[in-house]
Structure 1
């Protein structure tokens, strides 16, 4: 008599296991071989060797915008993964990361890994503890029995090792989309903080509206004008480039005005070495009331955490702006000035005021839940406005048919 286990094993003899290689992975710049599988990275190995802190190391390994892409007739797909679950001491539990299945561009199913490795972070001491967890299998069934384009978007905020991809029909590489490649860099807002799905981050939504292929280099807490990030942007093939600068420089209290301007110039100079004529859009910060006129650093609001809520506050002194401390208001003025001056000799350089994506009136209607990051509805609002201003008529990213 055939047991349930034997039946499953017998059925799998007809399945195809496809190696996970760069050929079926979009949005990642490197693929690291690990003991259990492969780990997509959004910074190349050379840049990772220069990362000075664990925050960026964690952020770049979280696969925001990274997706498996292939063609197949398969009606069932299995993906074995090891997800890294983050636990913040004293903060509410985080939801499991979401894997989204798209068929011919349409969202079709979602899944999550309930267990995996666990990284416990104490935000007060910045200490961490790591526990190894199991491999989880995600299953997508009931797909149409016809040749189709399949994408599996990985969780935007959950580091994921890919262990195995199985299908009940052969897999072929994705067809060229013919779309312009949009390379974007920004902070946790671009990374997708507080979005609930990987296709629900504002860059993913804007890319869909603008019919562009996204490479998202939004790094939570780490849009800090690092030279290795600029070199990564320089060396990554792209048709359209945007850099969203400001909020992390303020909430990390990283530099003063004297250093900020030259750092922006150097960052843009490096990008232009590899992309001398590509449309390059500099985007200033969206509205964030705690930092509009108050410098950083930002810090968790521990009184809110004691009530089970995650919130942040600005701890700087507004009077220190006279001595060069940075606020979002100061940064917007400086970015507008720098881009205006450079555009005189760089006609492909453009500026977008972040308040046009999310301003004071929007904050009154859709406040930032933790005082730093937008909620899912605000991600969509930002995406729709960015798509109109950047990809729409008269926009710097206007594409054919856009």
Structure 2
């Protein structure tokens, strides 16, 4: 076995790579954002490398990736650990569940937390296909990791990026909440089906039309872009309709400053029964404390929409209207999130916690997105390479 010196050139989907005492920590937001707006929720989410891959060309038959994970856990709640998935020439051939690492455990009833340190984890992938191959080690979408070492029985060379880049921004659903594997989150499913290189800016609890995220998208090379807004703006109850509509226009204007002709898809929220007609804030349902599955609830009142408080239904109508009124932008498109997951789907595939889709539903959403966006007549068709 030889030690492969990992460099930023081995990584795809990272906005920035930080050198630490242990190795490399990939980030999904640049340092200037982390300095300017160090919100704890956003900082935790951007450090979780959803969509980021270690990529290389190799003839190795045996790989070992050493990582030091950091995660958040809730006392009394069983949440799946992160995983590392391995693909060879685009085919998924292995998955490894993380263990060890550092953990901050939070009591959801009191808010108190306890920190425990742990040891590094070694993901072992043996009996790889023979001959030269392109390998991609998909990092966990729900835990942050430091990349300590890559070991193999043959060199692993960094390769130049190939294929169109799809830059996507969204909420925890886009980051992958309730999916078990990093290749199983819906943007990864869609990207793999569409032959695109995923750059995922899905941030749990943090898709809030923030101007600095629009600037990051503006300055990031991409062949096509999608923005999925809605659920966080409702369940955090951060603005009213007047501010929301203006914020979305500003968000799109900023993106267009750097990507004037790039295909841009605005996606409205998928179905979520608790917030269809009831504003936020959202909260954990106290009745689910002490059970195996926490559930979320809406705490607003339906009548509050008269004062401009947001619901998923009013947001969908607003986003559709925004795209219609920007019809001079022929590369701006709209996708109703109900086409990805609607009310009928909620009967067949209910959201386990009333907010996030499960593994099978992530796959369904990803397949539906790819069938629309990457189809011959879809908004990403001319640059999809398919």
TM-score category (smaller protein): over 0.9
1:234 aligns with 2:218: yes
Structure 1 partner of 2:121: 136
Which digits, 9 at most, give the CA deviation of each residue in 1:15-35, with x for residues without a partner?
332222121100111111112
Shift of 1:308: 2.8
Radius of gyration: which is bigger?
1
1:381 aligns with 2:364: yes
Structure 2 partner of 1:26: 12
Structure 2 partner of 1:5: none
Structure 2 partner of 1:318: 302
Shift of 1:400: 5.3
Alignment match of 1:69 (pick from 55, 80, 92): 55
Shift of 1:230: 0.7
Q: Is the 8 A contact 1:246 1:328 kept in 2?
A: yes
Which digits, 9 at most, give the CA deviation of each residue in 1:354-389, with x for residues without a partner?
011111111111111100001111111111111111
Counterpart of 1:49 in 2: which secondary structure?
Answer: helix
Instruction: Please give the TM-score of this superposition, normalised by the length of structure 1.
Output: 0.93
Instruction: Please give the TM-score of this superposition, normalised by the length of structure 2.
Output: 0.97
Unpaired stretches in structure 2, ≥5 consecutive residues: none
Residues of 1 paired with 2:24 and 2:209: CA distance?
28
Which digits, 9 at most, give the CA deviation of each residue in 1:179-203, with x for residues without a partner?
2100000001100011111000110
Q: Is the 8 A contact 1:368 1:375 kept in 2?
A: yes
May I ask how many residue pairs the two structures share in their alignment? 385
Q: Is the 8 A contact 2:105 2:113 kept in 1?
A: yes
Which digits, 9 at most, give the CA deviation of each residue in 1:21-66, with x for residues without a partner?
1211001111111121111110111111123421111111111101
Structure 1 partner of 2:105: 120
Q: Is the 8 A contact 2:265 2:332 kept in 1?
A: yes
Q: Is the 8 A contact 1:85 1:115 kept in 2?
A: no
Alignment match of 2:154 (pick from 169, 172, 184): 169
Residues of 2 paired with 1:143 and 1:302: CA distance?
47
What root-mean-square deviation, in Å, do the aligned CA atoms of Structure 1 and Structure 2 show? 1.4
Shift of 1:117: 0.5
Structure 1 partner of 2:318: 334
Structure 2 partner of 1:300: 284
How do residues 275-294 of structure 1 correspond to structure 2 at under 5 angstroms? Answer: 275-294=259-278
Residues 295/153 of structure 1: CA separation in 2 closer, same or farther (3 Å cut)? same
Alignment match of 1:42 (pick from 12, 19, 28): 28
Residues of 1 paired with 2:36 and 2:241: CA distance?
25
Residues 231/175 of structure 1: CA separation in 2 closer, same or farther (3 Å cut)? closer
Shift of 1:85: 3.0
Structure 2 partner of 1:269: 253
Residues of 2 paired with 1:371 and 1:229: CA distance?
27
Structure 2 partner of 1:205: 189
Greater Cα shift, 290-299 or 381-390: 381-390
Residues 128/301 of structure 1: CA separation in 2 closer, same or farther (3 Å cut)? same
Structure 2 partner of 1:215: 199
1:158 aligns with 2:143: yes
Q: Is the 8 A contact 1:50 1:228 kept in 2?
A: no
1:368 aligns with 2:351: yes
Shift of 1:105: 1.0
Q: Is the 8 A contact 2:88 2:133 kept in 1?
A: yes
Residues of 2 paired with 1:400 and 1:31: CA distance?
27
Counterpart of 1:277 in 2: which secondary structure?
Answer: coil
Shift of 1:175: 4.9
Which digits, 9 at most, give the CA deviation of each residue in 1:311-356, with x for residues without a partner?
000001111100010000110111111111112x211101110011
